[in-house]
Amino acid sequence: MRTWFAIPLWQRVVGALILGLVVGLLWGPGAETIKWVGDLFIRAIRMLVVPLIFFSLVAGVVSIGDLKKLGGIGGRAIGIFLFTGLIAVVVGLLLGTIIQPGAGLNIAPTGEIPEAAATPLTFVDMVLSMVPPNIVSAMANMEVLPMIVFAILFGIAILMAGEAGAPIGRAMDAGALVMQKMTAIVMELTPFGVFALMAWVAGTYGMDALLPLAQLVGALYLGCLIMIFLVYGGLVKFVAKLPARHFYRGVADAMAVAYSTSSSAATLPVTLRVTQQNLGVSRRVSSFIVSLGATVNMDGTALYLGLAAVFGAQIFGITLGPMEYVMIAITATLGAIGAAGIPSAGLVMMGLVFTSVGVPLETIAFVAGIDRIMDMMRTTTNVTGDATVAVAVARMTGELNVEEFVSADDV
């Protein structure tokens, strides 16, 4: 048992993916007899979604504090974070629609399909659904959008209550921590769920199941490169009015550590160092924005959620209309914020996004085995985005030493 837990989770998941493919190819259609193990894993994911989103979003809003006290620095940073997060989702949706990584692998879902798939979503329906007559009923039915709106309003109300609301704020923060621990427990089921579901897929569909996964990885990497070089480069060049090549040379160390560790938290000390020493951002701005970014700025995850939703819809034959794309954009942007600090955040938050548009949650098992490969690039994107926003806001507020920024060539 100790030997099992001594192996990093991502290695166990990759091993389960490979073993599941081998067993499925050898066993054939009979592998469906063990699919119930994967279904159990999916149910566990569904169990987490509502409390995890509620506590995480409320705690996230409360942790920001009084925006008036943050002044121009905080307002600008949060605005850019939301803007780049939305762009990331749109990039993921576009790449998923153009490349169509899930096309050609038509799988009939055997589990429960979220109710959102039953009827087309209109703009009026989406707006009205934001304010349900009964929030408890909405949570019980996993109605995602009203749950997100309620959590954000609840967090704002706690801040408005001041000292009287502080105990509730601390309780929400404790609840978020408890849910993170519970998520870590459920994530231990991932190798078993991936093994069972991949064996079922391989036994039923053969080697045809591998090509869509390779295309998904390629689409994710392409999307992250677009964010890093076009979106972030554009912010540095046109918003901060600085040469982008100096930025990339200065932030290279943080990008390398992020890619190798797949952890924004582990990269945080390096990101702080390069923004302050290589890019000339003041310590005050860098410390605030980079730390805040490690909590709420998850552009790579937002892009991943949008791309994965389209991928899941394609492999299960779910038709997504314009309003479904809008719903994915909203839930993925806000879900990425709520995902911060949660182990295997992308996998858990998929339950939030998929449920909102009727994509079967079995999609999670397809991508779990290759999640580590994609997580490396997602983390690199997240960290680069943090440094970009720090530079842009520092430039706008006069907190950037341009001479140090330009000397990034010498680091």
Find the range with the poorest average confidence among 62-76, 263-277, 292-306, 381-395.
62-76
pLDDT tens digit sequence for 206-249: 777 678 888 999 999 999 999 999 999 999 999 999 999 999 99
Residue 374 pLDDT exceeds 80: yes
Joined tokens for residue 34? 């063990």
Q: Are 173 and 330 in contact (CB under 8 A)?
A: no
Cα→Cα distances 96→90, 208, 303, Å: 10, 19, 10
228/326 Cα distance (integer angstroms): 23
Q: Taking all residues of the chain, what is their mean pLDDT, rounded to a whole number? A: 83
Q: Are 387 and 254 in contact (CB under 8 A)?
A: yes
pLDDT tens digit sequence for 143-186: 777 887 888 889 889 988 888 998 999 999 898 888 878 887 88
Residue 116 pLDDT exceeds 60: no
Mean pLDDT for 280-284 is 87
Residue 322 pLDDT exceeds 80: yes
Confidence at residue 251, expressed as pLDDT on a 0 to 100 scale: 93
pTM for this prediction: 0.78
Which band of pLDDT confidence, cut at 50, 70 and 90, is reported for residue 346?
low
Domains and CATH numbers, the chain: 2-410 (1.10.3860)
Is the CA virtual torsion 265, 298, 375, 204 positive or negative?
positive
